[in-house]
Amino acid sequence: NAGVTQTPKFQVLKTGQSMTLQCAQDMNHNSMYWYRQDPGMGLRLIYYSASEGTTDKGEVPNGYNVSRLNKREFSLRLESAAPSQTSVYFCASSTGTGARTPFFGQGTRLTVV
């Protein structure tokens, strides 16, 4: 059982380039999330999708867009990367009901130069 799978695991971008981070879950979860992790700041919510067909902004949405492609997949797009977006990005999913524990992918380490 793969759980939450993120691709790529590592990426280096030049300032101004665009890219899409992919996330897929095979747990039939309703809700999915994108976080960024920076030293000393914990995890900050970028965007989330409470259910298929809906997306909402989290704490730090500026510079990002998301697409909930279907129930399994939730992608994060950087249209014009900036050095301030250098971070580790985590995707997570949860059932949306019951205990609702978020389960995390392995992360994408992104460097913008």
Partner 1 sequence: ELKVEQNPLFLSMQEGKNYTIYCNYSTTSDRLYWYRQDPGKSLESLFVLLSNGAVKQEGRLMASLDTKARLSTLHITAAVHDLSATYFCAVDMGAGNQFYFGTGTSLTVIP
The beta strand positions in the chain, using DSSP E, are: 4-7, 10-13, 19-25, 31-37, 43-49, 56-57, 64-68, 74-78, 87-94, 103-104, 108-112
**Residue 56 contacts partner 1 per CB under 8 A:** yes
Map the footprint of partner 1 across residues 10-49, applying CB under 8 A.
31, 33, 35, 40-45, 48
Query: Closer CB to partner 1, residue 58 or residue 63?
Result: 58
In whole angstroms, the minimum distance from the beta carbon of 99 to partner 1 comes to 5
Map the footprint of partner 1 across residues 71-110, applying CB under 8 A.
90, 92, 94, 96, 99-107
What tokens does 12 get? 């280096």
Q: Assess contact for 112 and 81: CB atoms under 8 A.
A: yes
Query: Closer CB to partner 1, residue 10 or residue 14?
Result: 10
Report strand pairing: 64-68 vs 56-57: unpaired
Applying CB under 8 A, the residues found at the interface with partner 1 are 31, 33, 35, 40-45, 48, 50, 56, 58-59, 90, 92, 94, 96, 99-107
